[in-house]
Amino acid sequence: QRFRFCGDLDCPDWVLAEISTLAKISSVKLKLICAQVLRDLLGEAIEYDKILKLTSDAKLESGDVKATIAVLGFILSSAAKHNVDSESLSSELQQLGLPKAEHASGLCRSYEEKQSPLQDRLRACSLRLSQLGSVRWRVDYTLSSSELQEVNEPVVHLTFNVRDRECDKMTAVPVTLSANKFWVLLA
Amino acid sequence: MLLVLSAEHRAHLGCLPRAGGAAFGELGRLALEQLRRGAAPRACESAARQLNIGIDIIQHGVEGLVYLLTESSKLMISEVDFQDSINVLGFSDELNKSLLQLYLDNRKEIRSILGELAPRLPSYHSLEWRLDVQLASRSLRQQIKPAVTMKLHLNQNEDQTAQVLQTDPATLLHLIQQLEQALGEMKMNHCRRIVRNMK
């Protein structure tokens, strides 16, 4: 069976298995855990102790807690990735066996609030090889040189600051152009 | 298969009967810790002080034990062979039994540690991809040129490297087809026969 939030593919087996674990947690606590998982997906620090406290009632083992975080992370990020609206997400989660009344609707409400910021964050994390940080320039006027006594030519110095996505370092690439070459670049 | 112990090795292990029964337990523990974490001279020093034996003797004994255990585990020698090999050393029966017990108890763990020492090729960590369409360039306007850019993250002995690859969709489909053919080989009779025999 195809699900939109899985990108029109079958739902992974491990997600199906963990839906029953989600149903064990009360819906109020599930919404709070969702909020924590959303914080993690948006790049803020996740507060694992709070999640442990919230799941202690449902008597989940540590493996189950991690599985809960993983399955919530998958559902929320996958739904944002495929631009699924919260109604469709709710109906698909119910098809998978998540009880409607509170669990599915609570989850989808949290998702709906944070859908745009989540998609913005995913867009920012997309593969990008390098990024132009800034450009600095300077125009000099050469009066004379060792080769020719009267040169009288303008010269353009450019420095491109390139940020490497991987190591987050800025590299400076200096370029020097004569006036004619600079016109060619601009043309 | 019998283990052949060199004269130097025998001399190192010769200190074991001098150390005595209680010390043997301590030396065995130090040997295993050395296998798990590497040499710990400070632990040897404190053991030497506790048991009132020279630090050299302790270190030789520990190294001798480590070598004996790794060689025996590496070759996976049976109990009988292990007993015959250490009979050469002329230890007491009790010491021989303790050595055998130490070997049998820790054989599996030592083998798993030795297994991790083999050299490794870079292995897959993750793959990021991106689908772009080139609409225009400086030389030609109004184009449609799709391209898939991928960043393959590899792991090699805790080193992370990344390789950037770019291809057009047709080549990517061809690549996928070749990889699926490779996976399909596993289902052929030849592979199935070998896998069955290995199990």
How confident is the model over A150-184, as pLDDT tens digits?
A: 888 999 999 999 988 777 788 899 999 999 999 99
Q: Enumerate the residues of chain A whose CB falls inside 8 A of the CB of residue B130.
A: 126-128
β-pair partners for B129:
B150
Cα B140 to its chain centre, rounded Å, is: 56
3-state secondary structure chain B: CCCCCCHHHHHHHCHHHHHCHHHHHHHHHHHHHHHHHCCCHHHHHHHHHHHCCCHHHHHHHHHHHHHHHHHHHHHCCCHHHHHHHHHCCCCCHHHHHHHHHHHHHHHHHHHHHHHCCCCCCCEEEEEEEEEEEECCCCCCCCCCEEEEEEEEEEEECCEEEEEEEEECHHHHHHHHHHHHHHHHHCCCHHHHHHHHHHC
Per-residue pLDDT, B120: 77
* Identity at B127, one-letter amino acid code: L
Contact B164 A126 (CB under 8 A): no
Three-class secondary structure of residue A130 per DSSP: strand
A128 pLDDT higher than 90: no
Contact A166 B129 (CB under 8 A): no
Q: What is the DSSP letter of A12?
A: P
Among left, alpha and beta (phi > 0; psi -120 to 50; other), residue B90 is left
Q: Does pTM top 0.80 for this prediction?
A: no
Distance from CA of A127 to the nearest CA of B (A): 6
Chain A residues with a Cβ under 8 Å from any Cβ in chain B: 126-129, 166
Please name which of A71, A117, A85 lies closest in space to residue A5, comparing C-alpha atoms: A85
Q: How many beta-carbon contacts under 8 Å exist across A and B?
A: 13
| Nearest residue of chain B to residue A130 (CA atoms) | B164
Distance CA B92, CA B90 (A): 7
Distance CA B171, CA B149 (A): 12
Q: What is the DSSP letter of A26?
A: -
* Identity at A117, one-letter amino acid code: P
Of A127, A128, A166, the CB nearest to B129: A127
Which residues of chain B are modeled with pLDDT < 70? 19-21
Q: What is the pLDDT of residues A30-44, one digit of tens each?
A: 888 888 889 888 888
Distance CA B45, CA B38 (A): 15
Sheet holding A130-142, edge to edge: A130-142, A153-164, A169-178
Distance from CA of A99 to the nearest CA of B (A): 34
Q: Which tops the pLDDT comparison, A185 or B55?
A: A185
When pLDDT is averaged across residues A106-118 and rounded to a whole number, the result is 89
Distance CA B69, CA B78 (A): 13
Q: Enumerate the residues of chain B whose CB falls inside 8 A of the CB of residue A166.
A: 162
The domain segmentation of chain A, as residue ranges, is 4-126, 131-186
State the best of B127, B150, B151 to mutate against chain A, taking most chain A CBs within 10 Å: B151
Q: Enumerate the residues of chain A whose CB falls inside 8 A of the CB of residue B151.
A: 127, 129
Contact A127 B149 (CB under 8 A): yes
Please name which of A170, A151, A154, A150 lies closest in space to residue A162, comparing C-alpha atoms: A170
3-state secondary structure A147-168: CCCCCCEEEEEEEEEEEECCCC
Distance CA B52, CA A79 (A): 68
What is the token pair recorded at B137?
A: 């360039």
Three-class secondary structure of residue A138 per DSSP: strand
Q: What is the pLDDT of residues A42-96, one digit of tens each?
A: 888 888 888 888 777 777 777 888 888 899 999 999 999 999 888 888 888 888 8
- Are A162 and A132 contacting, i.e. CB atoms less than 8 angstroms apart? yes
| Nearest residue of chain B to residue A128 (CA atoms) | B130
State the best of A125, A126, A166 to mutate against chain B, taking most chain B CBs within 10 Å: A166
A102 pLDDT higher than 90: no
Contact A129 B128 (CB under 8 A): no
| Nearest residue of chain A to residue B163 (CA atoms) | A129
Contact B130 A126 (CB under 8 A): yes
Please name which of A64, A14, A74 lies closest in space to residue A40, comparing C-alpha atoms: A74
β-pair partners for B162:
B153
Confidence band, pLDDT 50/70/90 cuts, at residue A4: confident
Distance from CA of A186 to the nearest CA of B (A): 12
Strands (E), chain A: 2-3, 9-10, 130-142, 153-164, 169-178
